[in-house]
A and B are shown apart, each in its own frame.
Chain A
């Protein structure tokens, strides 16, 4: 594909890990693109036009044609610009990558998000869940599908590294903001080593926002959440933002938190 003649634009939000996934993939492929920052609680007409069903970032526009959903976008990028592939060629290996991407989105991400949004006993259960999920990944690195590899993709970063890596920075952020231990290097030596190597990569450093900005952002949301919750023993859940008319300030704040929480998952 001729890079110079096609136009690439993508709509994202600076603190959204799915946005980082797409940006990283574009950078790894050496593609030129225009970026438009979206306010996560106030989508632009462009976002509503190009992502009419989910109304969320990221949305990639290639010659004006939209692609949405980060895993769909990543595979689209890989299959359209075939240099420096991020997916393996072998069908079985591709199935493994897709499986663990779903795991990241359906299990690990929500568990990490729950650590952030819960208190007391609920939070302890959420932390245990994160550990259980990390154990599964650690096992794959130690003796399973990814044994002996520096990255999940092998010697170079692949699609699964992008998916797991863009979001794993929240682990360190939440560890500090929530004062919990999520990735103990003694318990998860391989995952810890992988994350360190991932974050050292040039394109990764250029993609992920500075940690102090992320800390500030997370602290702000956590504060908002705690000030809204009236019962400290209940575990507010991450879920869809409040539906219906949000006429009161309280409802609007809850909606904002819901949307922001969604952007925080891995």
Chain B
């Protein structure tokens, strides 16, 4: 009786086990077979074959060569066992047959006529020129796999997919699902992750590890909320006093060399670095070096002057302050190759200015309203950025709550609520989804303010990966406005985060939106994406991240990870 029940359970499980190819994000088009195929990691070659242009052969860009080396290293070091009961041992008999072929080569090429640029150059092209598409074939007969793309950036995405195909047991690297054929490209051009390095500081090494994890999930934009009221760690040439007095310590700064290091590292991984210097709110710390530019610095009670302590905003009505800010942003813009630069603009507090004598004096003397002054201030910063080729990015309040002039190509980030995206689109602005009700990684950790034992997180509850995963980028967006949706990002605000928990609070959750915005609404077989079939693949990504030294959180007991669907709510 007991045994028969057990066996029945096991039999059912074996039959209903979904295909376990661990690809995340799921490619747009995918077909797999059921033939085992081995790969000898130490001998495996990845070759490039680029067409000659203008009669002479083209060298492989250095960052593509490095990407190939990383893939080779991952094939050797990943040691990722398939997530099944028994682990890799369960597959040993399947791959030990003499009939199992071994693949020796991945041959990469660009399509004929393609311009050969470095990955880093491709990653920061204007959005409409970026091309991340690729095609990958892994035959079952041991002949060379092929990867083709229009760009080196596409080749990088294909290499990332290729790495995820393989499992490990006892020195053997293998797949059970050859042949594999993939034709892939992203659904959305903007797939991001935002990190706040101002509430608490993160060293360059943590940012680089985060970029590595982002590239595993094919994210392409690192939105760097570099500064805020609590600290100003970004060292800007010509304005070094701002970080000298505004960073947490002399060692907690990002020097121009650090920025260059991060930007290069990101670019090599197909990631654009979109920096944000939030203005005119979230700037109290500039008061430490330039008290003349900041209104209501540390005014009390802070709740009358800001959404969180400490209060303090740039004196936007002051021509000297507008000039200072425009110059600061102009100088910072030179550090970043991205076509974008964010001037922030969230959570502006009017009372701060109402109580500020200097601001009132200027408004009275010029006859301007605060809104007019804001429009002038934002215009000044945006003009400065445009003069160096940057397209400005702003938070949603700049178009939804304020009546200011903005150029129509300005990109708007939606954060307060998913409900607000449609309104931004109706105003004909391009938008990036970052809604707190789906994508905020910091929600649910309780109140961080002192003397508030029953205080809760303002955006409670915690956003699970599955909640994020169900976000619909086109909800309430008219067909006519669909083209305005650039993509989206998950965000980490760091009031309660630091290097101690960076990986565990971000991963694997931030991969949820990576799949939404890469794969789109449907899976390769045309069925809607769903959390049921996604979970086993996300487990795979999580375990692979852990193998690579990223401290991604366990989504379930290991018992569940190796038994897909058995721990579903309705199982």
Please indicate whether A and B come from the same complex rather than being unrelated chains.
no
